Amino acid sequence: MRITVTSVMVDDQSKALKFYTEVLGFVLKVDVPMGGEHRWLTVVSPDAQEGTQLLLEPLGFAPARVYQKALFDAGIPAASFGVDDCKAEYERLVKHGVVFRTQPTVMGPVTVAMFEDTCGNLIQMAQV
């Protein structure tokens, strides 16, 4: 068993696609209309284009909005992405206007930072 697709809920798929590709650097993998304004929309790491896909899941289910907001308000990240150099990635993203909740912080063998994805989520990045 392996993880092939995981998701983050987003309040606007087009805005999310722009942020996750143009700012974070992911690559569009799948974009399939699902009826109405919703799409099956996934991105992947440019370094692992056949790897795990991140589904930019539309918030079409009312309880999902409550859950997303509760995580955000509590300061809990919706996802965690690995980076090679947390400090360098932090500096690159700050230049793109990304809002960080925490600066790179050493926590034992891991350095982490947390930022807002402009779509209602907090995202953690971690350097192991």
- Residue 60's pLDDT is 85
Q: From CA 126, how far away is CA 111, in angstroms rounded?
A: 6
Residue with tokens 């079409």: 60
Q: From CA 67, how far away is CA 28, in angstroms rounded?
A: 26
Domain range 5-127, CATH class: alpha beta
First CA to last CA distance, the chain: 24
- Residue 5's pLDDT is 97
The residues spanned by each domain of the chain are 5-127
What is the pTM for the complete model shown?
A: 0.95
Give the three-state DSSP class for 62: helix
DSSP state of 84: S
DSSP H/E element including 121? none
Per-residue model confidence as pLDDT tens for the chain (128 residues): 999 999 999 999 999 999 999 999 999 999 999 988 899 999 999 999 999 999 999 998 899 999 999 999 999 999 999 999 999 999 999 999 999 999 999 999 999 999 999 999 999 999 99
